[in-house]
Amino acid sequence: MIKNLVIVESPAKAKTIEKILGTDYIVKSSFGHIRDLPKKGVGIDVENEFAPTYEVSADKKSVVSELKKLTKEAEKVWLASDEDREGEAIAWHLSQVLGIENESANRIVFHEITSSAIIKAIENPRSINIELVNAQQARRILDRLVGFELSPVLWRKVKPSLSAGRVQSVSVRLVVDREREIIAFTAGNYFRVTATFTVVKDGETHEISTELSKKFKTLEEATLFLKSCHDFAFSIGAIDKKQGKKSPSAPFTTSSLQQEASRKLGFSVSQTMRVAQTLYESGFITYMRTDSTNLSNDAINAIDKEVTSRFGNEYFKHRVYATKTKGAQEAHEAIRPTTISKEKVSGTKQETKLYDLIWRRTVASQMQDAAIEKTTIQIATPKDKMFFVTKGEIVVFEGFLKIYDGNDKDTILPPVAIGDALNVIEAEAQEKFEQRPSRYSEASLVRQLEELGIGRPSTYAPTISTIINRGYVIKEDRDGIKREYKVVILNENGTIENVVRQENTGAEKSKLFPTDIGIIVTDYLKTHFSSILDYNFTASVERQFDDIANGELVWQKMLTGFYGSFHKSVDDALNEDSFATPNSRLLGVDPKTEKNVYSRMGRFGAMVQLGETLEDKEDIEHKPKYATLDKGMLIETVTLEQALTLLKMPRDLGNYEEYKVVVGLGRFGPYIRHNGIFTSIPKECDPYSIMLDAAIELIELKRKRDREKVLRTYEEDTKLQIHNGRWGAYIHYDGENYKADKTIRETLVDMPFEEVMEIVKKQMKATPAKKKSTKTTKKTTTKKVSAKKTTAKATAKATAKKATAKKAVTKKKTAAKKSALKTVKTVTAKKSKSEK
């Protein structure tokens, strides 16, 4: 007989807790949700107050079977899933499947995996909070309805296999709107004047770098000012010293941790959450999904002790931070170390870096302000109300900078006095350009979603992953472009020199860009489903979820209010004849062929087209020419010049070894095709200007590398080869790669056939699914993808057919219902009754 069975979400968490609780407790994992809405069908009875149908996932049946068996044997069952809404829902689903009554369920929650927290939770169990469960259910059902009804509209009106979602579509809109701001932006220019002076104090010469307080609109104005500076007697006009301070930031919420980890560590949003999850499950930090900045009294007392012992009493300051996030759950704590005295933890490089960031931010949040002395020096000029200005800053008292953000160096100015004479040694006016709006990074998109009140800590990372994985947004680096700017220089002899310099502008690092399909879908949804893409509306839905969680709103009532108008929009969209894909955008005329050039969306993505689309597909002579848009190009911004360059592809360079050498653009970049073999063109080579000789060199270089790659082929079976890789020799057999142990890599090439095959067989046996069934899996996957596309098309057609059938004779309704989506079916029936 089992005394106590504790069920948690993850196996890593289970191991940590089992060590704490001891032998009287068995801790098992549910591996997340054990059941959900069905994968096929909507699974929601709209007419019966949105009653959901849940089913145990196929991959969780063995888990559920084991948990049922253990539940029957246990004297007491403890449901210890996470303390947020998702965790509460998991506990509820477990109670339903395992036959545990809500009132008698021993629900325990803790925001840190420590002995004291877990023992306290065991001593204070509660029943399942059904309001939290209902809030999660409402979110899940609403999102299912939106996705299930909206996606077929996109399949029908835009392109098969697309999807839409309440939060994901708004997130894409943010990226699209920002891109359009950038496209519409016209950079104004101005001239900034800088000068370097020298001053002699106590026999030493000091340099002072300054900037003029006024910006000039034109080159002429800047030039006149510089001319007036020649032979002018410059001196110190004013010195202003002020005392300032810097205050520490609040402890981390989920959002602020994602943003700071991106800024300081270069982590993606999903990477931050993955590493934080590991730290939490290892017992190093508190729960990582929170929007609160609160710290417990125990934590604050521990920080007081840590700061005082390290730096002294004067460095500690008790602070209480107000949470600014809309709908924040103040009862939770901020993300902090579970043991404040533990400055370092063991783990991977990523784990130790993130823990260090969390530890420093937490401790710094309860430390004194840094005291700063700011000095501003003004230097008079020949023009009234214009001054050359320089600023200095020194830290008088470090405060929290002792451990956080304290790497900024002091800017120390020379010890000058008012009236000190100065000598100008260099002065110039440099053309500057206004900065366009910044594209979103993952972290800044999270910050924007949080400020708008869209989504919650648990949804930020999966939302961003979804919009990237579905091809609405891409995350990438982009090179900038060269831009010329003018400079006017005042030489020491008083002459004016005009020069033109170059700078790189517009370079992007790990930024989010909308794709053409993302733009088209966003435009369509804004036209036909404006409420779904409205920022305020989406935020109000989040607030309603909060009201449900607080017991202030009935979840069915909330869904009824949303669904009526939403479903009407679905019907209206399906009944319209218009489609989202825009007509071709005319870019201009090709001067060589005198044919029109268009940019448009094609079957395989965005492209440019030379010539008209023909109704007669057999007319090969007049068939238009196509080219895929290059990286960074969009249908609505590509120019005629860019299109004509793209249409040069593929380029026939001539023959080599009696075979054509052709340059083309592919999915993975530019390539050379020769005798059926593809060779990648490196970045430093321009595919539009590369000539035959250079192409032959690349072909031969690839051949050489391929020869060097194969170290040995066995006569007994030519499918068995020893290859040379980045980490040394490895085995290649029948299209699959097999690792060789470090100890034998150097001698692997000399191994006899039998010994090498033995290594292959052992690895095949260890991972049979991967090694033996790869080809079968690929075929099966292809069939599944094909089947999904077929189903999508069929469903879209059925939905459209259903919408049309509503206007027809009532006898046809029954037949139409059989092929329509279940959700459309139920609501249409309801609508038909009201019409009668």
- 828, 802 Cβ separation under 8 angstroms: yes
Which residue carries 């049979």 as its tokens?
768
Distance CA 279, CA 353 (A): 11
SS3 588: strand
Distance CA 552, CA 174 (A): 31
Q: What is the dihedral of CA 466, 467, 471, 472, to 10 degrees?
A: 160
Helices (H), 5-84: 11-21, 61-73
**Phi and psi, residue 380, nearest 5°:** -65, 150
Rg, Å, the chain Cα set: 34
Instruction: Give me the sign of the Cα torsion angle 720, 721, 722, 725.
Output: negative
Can you give 580-609 as a three-state secondary structure string? CCCCCEEEEECCCCCCEEEEEEECCEEEEE
Q: Is 287 one of the catalytic residues?
A: yes
β-bridge mates for residue 677, sequence order: 674
If residue 25 lies in a helix (H) or strand (E), which one and from where to where?
strand 25-29
β-bridge mates for residue 290, sequence order: none
β-bridge mates for residue 728, sequence order: 725
Distance CA 723, CA 594 (A): 53
**Phi and psi, residue 654, nearest 5°:** 130, -165
Strands 2-8 and 25-29 come out as parallel
Tokens of 129: 């909070």
Length of the chain: 836
- 294, 330 Cβ separation under 8 angstroms: yes
Distance CA 80, CA 83 (A): 8
Cα angle 342, 124, 339 (rounded to 5 degrees) comes to: 5
DSSP 744: G
Spatial CB neighbours of 734, under 8 Å, sequence gap ≥ 6:
719, 720
- 232, 387 Cβ separation under 8 angstroms: no
* Start-to-end C-alpha separation, the chain: 62
Select which of 25, 54, 280, 287 is catalytic.
287
Distance CA 830, CA 416 (A): 84
- 680, 668 Cβ separation under 8 angstroms: yes
Which residue carries 């490895």 as its tokens?
730
Distance CA 824, CA 106 (A): 40
The residue among 141, 111, 170 whose CA lies nearest residue 50 is: 141
Cis peptide preceding 337, ω within 30 of 0: no
Buried/exposed 98-118: b ≥16 CB within 10 Å, e otherwise? bebeeeebbbbbbbbbbeebb
CA distance readout (Å), 113 to 108, 276, 343: 12, 13, 17
Which residue carries 């899940």 as its tokens?
140
Strands 189-201 and 421-433 come out as antiparallel
The residue among 70, 42, 40, 38 whose CA lies nearest residue 55 is: 38
Amino acid at 267: F
Catalytic amino acids? 287
